[in-house]
A and B are shown apart, each in its own frame.
Chain A
């Protein structure tokens, strides 16, 4: 089969590799009908995530048709259409019982490796380094889905692939970012980063009753989408205005009730020197992540407010404003999305027409063109926000 393989920084190749086989009894094999490049895939593309191996198949947002099931998969049959959550979860361990699926205790065979880096291990994930299990990803013609009986969600007939695909990651991820804000009627929510997760965080904050949603980015097209499609009430171009001052002004000086960091470890800054400071330290391995958006979110948040961190961080950060955070009674909530928790309720919202997640798609390509898709998305060429690949 054809698959998108990682070969190093800025080096993705579509190659012929063996077809997947059933390795565990709760596996299913899915013929991929649609898959997407995630913003977090760019961290791998840019070489910021350790424990990648040449030949690793990329991709954790995919859906398709079941073509084979292991003997213990009773709830799926060949021919079912399913969308697959990016985090692999068993459904049996204490973490899964607590609905913390991205912390499944059984799905990462390389937990010992993650423990060395992070203390404890999160769940395994598709196509996201050997530290998270060394699972082949879904940017391929076929994919093996472990614990398919627990994770894979059947897609109703009549729902288009493009409507269901983002249940695999970015829609639930954005939703969880908004949910972590504990939104109350009248709240103002600021969202750093208007990529796909930021767009869904904005749309979800609106669904959860936020009165005012402020979108922050530097790309006009993304800010325009945030305002016109996702439901942002205000936008801030951080290359145009100082974010802190703008947020103060928009909120009468108190700051947003909750701030969502939907940017993560590869943030940019308006001021070249500020960006250079973190990029330099990152290059020298003095810090692994550039927490520019996170610092801003903490400083801007109102006293007693909540900072919701959904952008991906990989390692260590520098100049964390702990004084501001502590003295102003802020709360931070964070985590990789517990996708399985949100798939069914969000599917229902799609079915009843509350939202059509396909609004974020800007580019449709063949799987063979995945390397171009990565390049385009990484460089944000042609207003690229979301690339969907079809094998």
Chain B
């Protein structure tokens, strides 16, 4: 998936250059890079977990052997067994914590500190083999470095400064100018964006949005168009003080060989604090990427066929997750919406 250029303003067609002063674009890396970092940290965590489990088992089963390996004389078997239980617990906790086992890996770091302290105390004892203790300490320090790295990676703020970013696209069998014209009429949005109740233009490049929240509530905000490149791109951003801070763009790219247009939506949003923010987070939490997918496919259906396609199983059309049985509901023309969808064309 290709990333958008994250500049709020294009080279031309800018209508609100002042927003350049407060960009909300990702501070570092793209969504994909971020996911790759997550995946490699997770792999490392699992490696450490297996290490924990095997070392823990060895300490529980053969404490005397372990004692001699680290330069001791086979004593303190119960202490070593106790450490073994701790190792085992850390390892299992990493697997138990799912995709981002940050707390479990930090618990390993704490365990490492205890190990180092123990080895330091042991190194001071005349009955110990000093070179054995030094070797063991070097080993533990190495593992500690890995643990700290892994725990820090896993604790890394997942959403960058820009918040959560996503990107979706669909191919529509119409030239870019028609799709641009349809999209440029913001009042069209509720026809294919089901969570949007209304969009009203309130000033030059400024619009007021009312969006469905959970349990019959609604969230409102004002947004400003930050770029408007005819037939190519429209970008927007919420105004300061909005319940949901977000920015996004839609681009219309003609496919080679006269095969329609790729419509690509990029969206960033930051769930803010406060009650309204929590509400908004819940709103977006119902798989925002699926929501954009559904919106884009309904857009395609409206532009290509005239309206959102409905079935008995999905009376609301694309994205209707309730799935009634595939038989008429008995609701007389509840979804006829003749007035709303009479004009099919984009212009």
User: Measured between alpha carbons, how far is A97 from B257 in the docked complex, in Å?
Assistant: 14
Whether A130 contacts B305 in the complex (CB less than 8 A), given A24-B310, A97-B173, comes out as no
Contact at B318–A55, with CB atoms within 8 Å?
Answer: no
Closest chain-B Cβ to A211's Cβ sits at a distance in Å of 40
User: Measured between alpha carbons, how far is A110 from B171 in the docked complex, in Å?
Assistant: 17
A58: nearest residue on chain B (CB-CB)?
A: B326
User: Measured between alpha carbons, how far is A133 from B326 in the docked complex, in Å?
Assistant: 9
Closest chain-A Cβ to B166's Cβ sits at a distance in Å of 16
Main secondary structure of the interface of A (DSSP, over half): loop
Whether A134 contacts B314 in the complex (CB less than 8 A), given A92-B304, A112-B319, comes out as yes
Total residues of chain B contacting the partner, CB 8 A: 42
Q: In chain B, residues 306-340, which have Cβ atoms closer than 8 Å to a Cβ of chain A? A: 306-307, 309-315, 317-320, 323-336, 338
Cross-interface CB contact of B307 among A19, A24, A110, A136, cutoff 8 Å: A24
A54 lies within 8 A of chain B by Cβ? yes
Closest chain-B Cβ to A89's Cβ sits at a distance in Å of 10
Cross-interface CB contact of A109 among B260, B314, B331, B336, cutoff 8 Å: B314
User: Measured between alpha carbons, how far is A234 from B342 in the docked complex, in Å?
Assistant: 57
Cross-interface CB contact of B313 among A3, A94, A112, A133, cutoff 8 Å: A133
Which of A23, A26, A56, A72 has the largest number of chain B CB atoms within 10 A?
A23
Contact at B293–A135, with CB atoms within 8 Å?
Answer: no
Closest chain-B Cβ to A88's Cβ sits at a distance in Å of 8
B290 lies within 8 A of chain A by Cβ? yes
Contact at A136–B173, with CB atoms within 8 Å?
Answer: no
Contact at A25–B338, with CB atoms within 8 Å?
Answer: yes
Contact at B173–A93, with CB atoms within 8 Å?
Answer: yes
Measured between beta carbons, the chain B residues less than 8 angstroms from A17 are 327-328, 330
Cross-interface CB contact of B312 among A26, A107, A136, cutoff 8 Å: A136
A111 lies within 8 A of chain B by Cβ? yes
Measured between beta carbons, the chain A residues less than 8 angstroms from B294 are 112
Whether A136 contacts B318 in the complex (CB less than 8 A), given A23-B310, A94-B259, A112-B293, comes out as no
Contact at B323–A134, with CB atoms within 8 Å?
Answer: yes
Which of B294, B323, B326, B328 has the largest number of chain A CB atoms within 10 A?
B326
User: Measured between alpha carbons, how far is A19 from B327 in the docked complex, in Å?
Assistant: 9
User: Measured between alpha carbons, how far is A140 from B304 in the docked complex, in Å?
Assistant: 30
B315: nearest residue on chain A (CB-CB)?
A: A23
Cross-interface CB contact of B305 among A106, A135, A136, cutoff 8 Å: A106
Measured between beta carbons, the chain A residues less than 8 angstroms from B306 are 25-26, 72
B301: nearest residue on chain A (CB-CB)?
A: A106
User: Measured between alpha carbons, how far is A136 from B311 in the docked complex, in Å?
Assistant: 8
Closest chain-B Cβ to A5's Cβ sits at a distance in Å of 7
Q: In chain B, residues 112-162, which have Cβ atoms closer than 8 Å to a Cβ of chain A? A: none
Cross-interface CB contact of B309 among A71, A109, A130, cutoff 8 Å: A109
Measured between beta carbons, the chain B residues less than 8 angstroms from A5 are 325, 327
B297 lies within 8 A of chain A by Cβ? yes
A146 lies within 8 A of chain B by Cβ? yes
Closest chain-A Cβ to B258's Cβ sits at a distance in Å of 10
B202 lies within 8 A of chain A by Cβ? no
Measured between beta carbons, the chain A residues less than 8 angstroms from B327 are 3, 5, 17-18, 55-57, 136
Contact at B310–A53, with CB atoms within 8 Å?
Answer: no
Closest chain-B Cβ to A134's Cβ sits at a distance in Å of 2
Contact at B333–A136, with CB atoms within 8 Å?
Answer: no
Closest chain-A Cβ to B150's Cβ sits at a distance in Å of 32
Q: Mark A225-253, 1 if CB is under 8 A from B, else 0.
A: 00000000000000000000000000000
Closest chain-B Cβ to A140's Cβ sits at a distance in Å of 8
Total residues of chain A contacting the partner, CB 8 A: 42
Closest chain-B Cβ to A142's Cβ sits at a distance in Å of 9
Closest chain-B Cβ to A127's Cβ sits at a distance in Å of 7
Contact at B307–A25, with CB atoms within 8 Å?
Answer: yes
Measured between beta carbons, the chain A residues less than 8 angstroms from B324 are 53, 134
Cross-interface CB contact of A26 among B305, B317, B336, B342, cutoff 8 Å: B305
B300 lies within 8 A of chain A by Cβ? yes
A52: nearest residue on chain B (CB-CB)?
A: B326
Closest chain-A Cβ to B344's Cβ sits at a distance in Å of 8
User: Measured between alpha carbons, how far is A135 from B305 in the docked complex, in Å?
Assistant: 18
A98: nearest residue on chain B (CB-CB)?
A: B259
Closest chain-B Cβ to A53's Cβ sits at a distance in Å of 5
A174 lies within 8 A of chain B by Cβ? no
Measured between beta carbons, the chain B residues less than 8 angstroms from A72 are 306
Q: In chain B, residues 238-259, which have Cβ atoms closer than 8 Å to a Cβ of chain A? A: 259
B40 lies within 8 A of chain A by Cβ? no
Closest chain-A Cβ to B234's Cβ sits at a distance in Å of 24
Q: In chain A, residues 95-110, which have Cβ atoms closer than 8 Å to a Cβ of chain B? A: 97, 105-107, 109-110
User: Measured between alpha carbons, how far is A24 from B341 in the docked complex, in Å?
Assistant: 9
B341: nearest residue on chain A (CB-CB)?
A: A25
A18: nearest residue on chain B (CB-CB)?
A: B330
B173: nearest residue on chain A (CB-CB)?
A: A94
Cross-interface CB contact of A53 among B300, B305, B313, B332, cutoff 8 Å: B313
User: Measured between alpha carbons, how far is A19 from B297 in the docked complex, in Å?
Assistant: 29
Q: Mark A125-161, 1 if CB is under 8 A from B, else 0.
A: 0010010011111000000101100000000000000
23 residue pairs bridging A and B, Cβ less than 8 Å apart: A18-B328, A18-B329, A22-B336, A24-B309, A25-B342, A26-B305, A53-B323, A56-B313, A71-B338, A72-B306, A93-B300, A105-B171, A109-B309, A109-B314, A110-B318, A112-B293, A130-B313, A133-B311, A134-B313, A134-B323, A135-B313, A136-B311, A144-B312
Interface residues of B, Cβ cutoff 8 Å to A = 171, 173, 259-260, 290, 293-294, 297, 300-301, 304-307, 309-315, 317-320, 323-336, 338, 341-342
20 additional contacts, CB 8 Å, given A19-B330, A71-B342?
A20-B312, A21-B328, A21-B331, A21-B332, A23-B310, A23-B336, A24-B307, A24-B310, A26-B306, A55-B327, A71-B338, A90-B309, A92-B305, A93-B304, A105-B300, A106-B305, A112-B293, A134-B313, A134-B324, A146-B311
Q: Which 8 A-B pairs have the closest CB atoms?
A: A134-B313, A55-B325, A18-B330, A56-B326, A109-B314, A92-B304, A18-B328, A23-B310
